[in-house]
Amino acid sequence: MSRIALLLIFVFAVPALFAAEECSTIINQNEAVNIENARNQDGVGWCYAYAAADLLSYRLKKKISAVSLYDSGQSIEQDISSMSGKGGDMGWAITDYLRKKNSLCLEEDLPSSDFKFCSYMNYSEFLNSLYQSVNEKYISNDQCLVDNLKATFPLADYGVIQNYTSRFGSKNLVEYLYDLHCKKQSFKGYKVNPVNQYLPRFTKEALLKNINALLEKKEIVGLASQWEKLTENDDPAKTGGHATVIVGRRKSPDTGECEYLVRNSWGKSCDELEGEGLTCDLACVDRNCRYTGHLWVSTRRIQNSILGITYLP
């Protein structure tokens, strides 16, 4: 073979081989975090807490309560009454909780979803109605609210709430109820120092390289991104930062480029986000397919929108 041919092979074929290896198909999942159980943050703006809970749940193979990791820097009452929220940080949500509690709270002890509400209500509306009732002192007259209370805070009957509010009013009521339900303290003494890597200290290229390295180590990675850039929506208003979790990658069957499997916390709905470089993940059995609530997102969109990553070392 001529030297020129050998050189051409070296210049083009060898890097292509490496590229194929760099985007080998990976999907990291286990009994606690998997394709079938994308979370739903319901009506609250605590995406960072849901993503942080996924990171812990995957590591510990046990579902950690998402709402227990609330860490928005203001009271829950302020957060949900403003309906805009201040957001939070995945890494700090974990660090702050472990520093305060030296343990974790399981989803089975403090549920973050699946509530059997007796009337139309999402989670934030329920919390608002609870505060309103406490402030107006009529919990015992509202059977629906009582039933909703049992669904979300089974340890908190009227007497418990009355006992608290007689001393403190509504101040930090939900935080108190969270603490009450997390008294069981699972994973006592658990220690982990989440790693946050954000722009501008880390370049986009470095972040992407780290994402790939972590996926190859069978880890999942928290992703902070500018959501309107990731979804490329034409809505002029900024939606702000959003936290999700990268759980896999593959070569796109359409373009051959590398794309990442992003686990969202908005339940199964997805197709309205689809476009060039973003497709909904489907779980197919025979010819029937269902949305999983995960998105296949191109490298381009990830690079355009990435703010940082969080992972557990």
Partner 1 sequence: MKILLTPFCFLLLLCNAQADCRSADIRIIYQSKAEISKEIVCDRMVGKIQFFVSKSCEEKSNGSCEILKRPKKDIVIKNYRSNFGSPGFKLCSALGGVPQIFDYKFNQDSVWKSTERCFFDKDFVEISLLTSEWKKFIKVKHD
Q: Using CB under 8 A, which of the segments 88-96, 138-146, 255-263, 268-276 binds partner 1? A: 268-276
Is there binding between residue 205 and partner 1 (CB under 8 A)?
Answer: no
Q: Using CB under 8 A, which of the segments 159-167, 250-258, 270-278, 295-303 binds partner 1? A: 270-278
Cα–Cα–Cα angle for 94, 97, 100, nearest 5°? Answer: 145
Is the backbone peptide bond immediately before 200 cis, with ω within 30 degrees of 0? yes
Q: Using CB under 8 A, which of the segments 8-16, 30-38, 129-137, 188-196 binds partner 1? A: 30-38
Is there binding between residue 257 and partner 1 (CB under 8 A)?
Answer: no
Contact, 37 vs 62, CB < 8 A?
A: no
Is there binding between residue 253 and partner 1 (CB under 8 A)?
Answer: no
Is there binding between residue 198 and partner 1 (CB under 8 A)?
Answer: no
User: Cβ-count burial of 238 within 10 angstroms (0-12 exposed, 13-18 middle, 19+ buried)?
Assistant: exposed
Closest CB to partner 1 among residues 98, 245? 245
Closest CB to partner 1 among residues 78, 269? 269
Is there binding between residue 272 and partner 1 (CB under 8 A)?
Answer: yes
What is the spatial distance between Cα 179 and Cα 105, in angstroms, rounded to a whole number?
Answer: 9
What is the spatial distance between Cα 261 and Cα 297, in angstroms, rounded to a whole number?
Answer: 6
Helix (H) / strand (E) containing 242? strand 241-251
Q: Using CB under 8 A, which of the segments 32-40, 67-75, 201-209, 211-219 binds partner 1? A: 32-40
Total residues contacting partner 1 (rule CB under 8 A)? 56
What phi, psi does 114 have (nearest 5°)? 65, 30
Tell me how far, at minimum, the Cβ of 9 lies from partner 1, in Å.
41
Site for partner 1 in 34-63 (CB under 8 A): 36-38, 40-45, 47
Q: What is the DSSP string of 188-213?
A: TT-----EEEETTTS-HHHHHHHHHH
> Among 17, 99, 114, 191, which residue sits at the site for partner 1 (rule: CB under 8 A)?
114
User: Cβ-count burial of 16 within 10 angstroms (0-12 exposed, 13-18 middle, 19+ buried)?
Assistant: exposed
Q: Which amino acid is at 140?
A: S
Is there binding between residue 291 and partner 1 (CB under 8 A)?
Answer: yes
Q: Is 93 helix (H, G, I), strand (E, B) or coil?
A: helix
What is the spatial distance between Cα 169 and Cα 138, in angstroms, rounded to a whole number?
Answer: 13
Question: Hey, which residues does 225 pair with through a beta bridge?
Answer: 242, 306
Is there binding between residue 120 and partner 1 (CB under 8 A)?
Answer: yes
> Among 162, 267, 300, 307, which residue sits at the site for partner 1 (rule: CB under 8 A)?
267
Closest CB to partner 1 among residues 70, 215? 70
Is there binding between residue 159 and partner 1 (CB under 8 A)?
Answer: no
Closest CB to partner 1 among residues 203, 269? 269
Q: Site residues (CB under 8 A) for partner 1?
A: 36-38, 40-45, 47, 83-85, 108-109, 111, 113-117, 119-122, 124, 150-151, 154-155, 181, 227-228, 231, 233, 235, 237, 239-242, 265-272, 282, 284, 287-291
